[in-house]
Structure 1
Amino acid sequence: MFSPQGPSLRELCVQAFSSVERGYDLLAPKFDHTPFRTPEPILAATTQALSKLGPFRDGLDVCCGTGAGMPVLQRLCRGQITGIDFSAGMLAQARSAHPDATWVRADVRAMPFAGAFDLAVSFGALGHFLPAERPALFEGVYRALRPGGLFAFPIGASPPRTSVSHWATLGFDLAMRARNTVWRPPFVMYYRTSPLPAVHDDLTAAGFTPTTVDLTALGRHRGGDPRCRLVLARRPADS
């Protein structure tokens, strides 16, 4: 499915009825041949925006998956770059692709770092956290950063109600809610549970000073709003 190298429909169904960790372990060898991998234009736009704020020393990719975000850190950071994820299968793929990076298997809701990084990035991971879990995630990233450090991640703008994207993401989230109501273990992946205002409030509560920049290279919706923004959450220098 998706491409000759991608997973079959049967493999996707098995993944969908597994836990998040087990599902990604199963999908890992073929993950980069699916649309779920962060697209290169998003990575490039993020790199361009952050290049104006660096250089940085040590970098962390939060929920790194197969390591798609590592080239971003490689271009921006002068020191050590590290990826953290709880899927052993995804980390195995990442380690194979980027052997010079450091890889840590852990739950990012209990981040095992303190004051170790100047830049943290994350791509496409927020949907795996329920709103009640975001504070632990953000507080962990805050602790992992040095004073003055930056946490950056792209976040898509809500598409217009008249768009296909609006109804597609709504339908997907409703299907996942139904699945998680009747099947255990749950597979947490939602597109509409991390609106920018709520994310902004949770970052502020964790101690960050959040702002956003429009990633205009990724286009705009018909009404003029950018399709994607980059959240920039700064840990205060005196914290």
Structure 2
Amino acid sequence: MPTPQGPTLRELAVQALSSTMRGYDLLAPKFDLTPYRTPDRVLDAVTSAVRPLGPFRRGLDVCCGTGAGVGVLRELCQERVTGVDFSAGMLGVARSAHAGAAGAPPVDWVRADARALPFAPVFDLALSFGAFGHFLPEERPLLFDQVFASLRPGGLFVFPVGAPPAVGSRPYWSLLGFDVAMRVRNALWRPPFVMYYRTFPLAGVVDDLVRTGFEVRLLPLEELGRRQDGSPRARLVVAARG
């Protein structure tokens, strides 16, 4: 739920009527006070699942936002971490939040579009949290190709994917309603604000990763529990560059 210190309804409305980049520049100072920040329990579950897959020297947080994933990488990587995002406002908040952490690897902050990453293949581990709704399905192959090109051979690209809500449930209708509202907004208003919850189906994502050249496996994030049918509430996608 929103907090009293978080953005007001007016601020959220201004953000929603801006471009994706400008919207996040505006939201950046209060982003971590919104429900949109990746919960700590998800960050902790991913950290626990990825740690045995290492060791890792250099890490990349793709679409780092205010740096939640950078915090994960600083626990997992030994030498250096990079956060990349297209929003100067979000990078500014991230830089302040992670300044001066003793004993952790240093961080480089890079402003760039994830569809045109400016990196050589130097990273052992890339991850991303909560950003894929900002990419249309037809953009996924380019995004995955850019991450692939930034990884060393054998490097891993990891991210959590939650199980879809049951058809007809309250979360199902909530996400569907949000996506419909965004499609109407983008049909009637320019510039577009790209954010959808239902455009990242696991099967299609795995197919795109494999076509890019990744070897993919799925690990249950057991710390996040299981549904009534016994299936995990969330899985970790582990895509390895061959």
User: Do both share a fold (TM > 0.5)?
Assistant: yes
Residue pair 1:211, 1:231 contacting (<8 A) in 2 also:
yes
TM-score by length of 2: 0.95
Q: State the alpha-carbon separation in 2 of the partners of residues 148 and 113 from structure 1.
A: 16
Q: State the alpha-carbon separation in 2 of the partners of residues 28 and 225 from structure 1.
A: 35
Deviations 1:30-73 (A, max 9, x none): 00000100000100000000011012000000000000111210
Q: State the alpha-carbon separation in 2 of the partners of residues 128 and 206 from structure 1.
A: 20
Q: Hey, what does 1:88 align to over in structure 2?
A: 88
Identify the match of residue 121 of structure 1 among 127, 144, 147: 127
Q: Give matches, 1:15-26, under 5 Å.
A: 15-26=15-26
Equivalent residue of 1:57, what SS?
strand
Q: State the alpha-carbon separation in 1 of the partners of residues 189 and 134 from structure 2.
A: 17
Letter of the 1:134 counterpart: R
Deviations 1:118-141 (A, max 9, x none): 000000011100001011110000
Q: State the alpha-carbon separation in 1 of the partners of residues 115 and 125 from structure 2.
A: 18
Q: State the alpha-carbon separation in 1 of the partners of residues 220 and 136 from structure 2.
A: 25
Letter of the 2:84 counterpart: I
Identical pairs, percent = 64
Residue pair 1:159, 1:227 contacting (<8 A) in 2 also:
no
Q: State the alpha-carbon separation in 2 of the partners of residues 126 and 5 from structure 1.
A: 27
Equivalent residue of 2:53, what SS?
coil
Q: State the alpha-carbon separation in 2 of the partners of residues 172 and 226 from structure 1.
A: 24
Identify the match of residue 138 of structure 1 among 135, 144, 158: 144
Q: State the alpha-carbon separation in 2 of the partners of residues 79 and 235 from structure 1.
A: 20
| CA drift at 1:4 | 2.0
Deviations 1:208-238 (A, max 9, x none): 01111111211223333222111000001xx
CA spacing shift, 1:204–1:143, aligned 2, 3 Å = same
Letter of the 1:225 counterpart: S
Q: Hey, what does 1:37 align to over in structure 2?
A: 37
The runs of 5 or more residues in structure 2 that have no matched partner are 100-105
Equivalent residue of 2:219, what SS?
strand
Instruction: Compare 146-155 and 207-216 and name the one that shifted more.
Output: 207-216
Equivalent residue of 1:52, what SS?
helix
- Whether 1:112 and 2:122 are equivalent positions in the alignment is no
Residue pair 1:62, 1:121 contacting (<8 A) in 2 also:
yes
Q: State the alpha-carbon separation in 2 of the partners of residues 128 and 219 from structure 1.
A: 27
Letter of the 1:207 counterpart: G
Q: Hey, what does 2:103 align to over in structure 1?
A: none
Deviations 1:81-135 (A, max 9, x none): 0000000000000011113410000001011112110000000011100001011
Equivalent residue of 1:69, what SS?
helix
Q: Hey, what does 2:73 align to over in structure 1?
A: 73
- Whether 1:56 and 2:62 are equivalent positions in the alignment is no
The runs of 5 or more residues in structure 1 that have no matched partner are none
- Whether 1:164 and 2:173 are equivalent positions in the alignment is no
Letter of the 2:125 counterpart: L
